[in-house]
Amino acid sequence: MFPTATRRSTARLKGPEGSPTVVLYAHYDVQPAHASQGWSTDPWTPTLKEDGRIYGRGAADDKSGLVSLIGTLRAFDGKPPCTVRIIVEGMEETESNLEEFVEAHPDLFQCDMFIIADMGNLRVGEPVLTTALRGDVSCTVTVRTLDHPLHSGVYGGPTPDAMMALARLLSSLVDDAGDVAVDGVTGGPWGGEDMTEEDFLAGAELLPGVSLLGTGTIADRLWAKPSINAIGVDTTSIADSSNVIHPVASAKISMRIVPGSDPEAEPTPWSVTSRPTPRGAHRSRCSASRPRRRSWPPRTAPATRPPARR
């Protein structure tokens, strides 16, 4: 294995002459593990619990993918029936520049089959093949109503509160059932393997009294219909709050678009005009970042992204 670019490595194991070439991909970087996420064990120490699962940041996404690649190579004892090329990335969870790397090194990606070891299965012990994923389009929206904070006791009532306005904007993104309410966004029924509500709830672990959102089957809602979430909010914290009206509030919105749709053509929330934002730039208006995962071709087998476990 040798480095070819920042935080990325490749390796090649030659197969018999004239045999196909298979590229295997996985990533070793992980998401942050903030204490506010509710960890009951050290996220950086793999912990085997009574349910037989290993808990730790990245245990499933995507250290297990790396293990599966290593296990595949060991199974063939260094003599695979085809040429195997491995691509291991260290920036998948952040601003991945894999697309630029592919364009700069197309020879590394010439193959007969490309397998991404970055998914899961519907049930333990039951292998599956994933052929489609929803894409991701995100934007940051900022609401400004005042030049500066105002005392709520003096100005509250007729004066618009930026945080309250933002909350109403966010609530307009879904209907009463919880389905995406952005006009014209692509969606439909799922034609592959279904996931039962029981299996979904076993992984999602909703709190008592909390109901699922949306209409259609679980598979429809996971793989064939769009979803939209507010994944971050910037405003005054409770600890720093006082009796003032907020002049500004921001939220980052993530929208999952269905396989086969064009991320550049999909409708945007509130019909705003989207534009790519340079990496690291401050976004004070709604602006769409490039999808980190582009939708794959038409589906031939079930998609299998189960609810993630920490």
Q: Which residues are catalytic?
A: 29, 92
Whether the CB-CB separation of 143 and 165 falls below 8 Å is answered with yes
- C-beta of residue 143 within 8 angstroms of C-beta of residue 245: no
- Identify residue 129 by its one-letter amino acid code: L
Q: Is 249 exposed, middle or buried (0-12, 13-18, 19+ CB in 10 A)?
A: buried
Residues 50 and 66: their CA atoms lie apart, in Å, by 24
**Which tokens hold the place of 115?**
């397998």
Q: Are strands 83-89 and 21-27 parallel, antiparallel or unpaired?
A: parallel
C-alpha to C-alpha distance for 57 and 47, rounded to whole angstroms: 10
Number of Cβ atoms within 10 Å of the Cβ of 232: 12
Q: What residue ranges in the chain does DSSP mark as E strands?
A: 2-5, 8-13, 21-27, 47-48, 54-55, 83-89, 113-116, 135-144, 150-151, 227-234, 244-245, 248-257, 288-289
Tokens for 132, please give them: 């489609």
Question: Would you say 37 and 310 are in contact if contact means Cβ atoms under 8 Å apart?
Answer: yes
Bridge partners of residue 3, in order along the sequence: 9
Give the Cα separation of 269 and 185 in Å (integer). 10
C-alpha span between 11 and 87 (Å, rounded): 7
Looking at residue 108, what DSSP letter applies?
G
